[in-house]
Amino acid sequence: MREILGRRRKLLFRRGGRSAQLGAALHCATEWQWPVLPGVGLRSAGRPPAGARLGLGGRPTRRCNCPDPECVVPGAHPFDPGLLAATTDARMVRWWWTNRPDAPVILATGGRAPCAVSLPAVAGARAMAALDHFGVRVGPVVATPTRWSLLVSPYGLAELGELLYSQDWVPSSLRFHGEGGYVVLPPSQTGAGRVRWERPPASPKLSTLFEQGGPSPSAAPWLPKVATIVDALVMASTSAPDGGSRLAY
């Protein structure tokens, strides 16, 4: 029976009665060989402590489950376990999310795993429009209400340094997630809101798969090189209201 692709993506991580986060983490680790680990997550809803910061409408802001009361990325970072614990081992992944089913899914970037470039959401939308206009193919794009992250093929510091050196300046709001970095993946919930796919992962081109011996259901999503998109990201970030200051290189 044929499945509609869009519906298949929605149901991809909801099989066997397990949590959506566990399904996503298992798929990334076992099918795509992306090392993952659980994020620290948010504190359980309840009566806010005395002196808690209030958000819009007088409601308390969602607080991070880490010890830092002023955490600037609540829920959206590793803590225990630390980033070095990221793995593709299915048994470890199941153990983590069985004990913490709502924990965010953290991708450890770099090495053989994808890297990423993130920027403010407004700039991200502008960059995507420009890349689409010029026919530049992009890979998976992760979105939160405040920032977008474009996943790219692994790059080294030397390659990144050359790309940035060629720019007149680089906005401070543009961030690079390489070796030793991380990105939060859908369908995680963080203090900034729900994490979703703005552009869902796509399979590699058939021609590439055939060169590798034929299509495989475990083939990781196709990823662009950072050099093909960095110019558009820099330009979009500089023109966005929250683009940040100009850092000369």
DSSP one-letter string for 192-220: TEE-EEEE---PPPHHHHHHTTS--TTPP
* Segment 144-174, tens digit of pLDDT: 999 999 999 999 988 888 888 888 888 888 9
First-last CA distance in the chain: 55
The residue among 190, 192, 212 whose CA lies nearest residue 203 is 212
Nearest in space to 152 (alpha carbons), one of 188, 190, 189, 114: 114
| Residue 227: per-residue pLDDT | 94
Q: What is the DSSP letter of 1?
A: -
pLDDT the model gives residue 168: 84
Q: Distance from CA of residue 192 to its chain's centroid?
A: 13
| Torsion sign over Cα 99, 101, 107, 112 | positive
- Neighbour tally for 45: CB within 10 Å: 8
pTM of the model: 0.80
pLDDT at 248: 40
pLDDT in tens, 179-227: 999 999 999 999 999 999 999 998 665 444 434 444 454 589 999 999 9
What pLDDT shows up at residue 203? Answer: 67
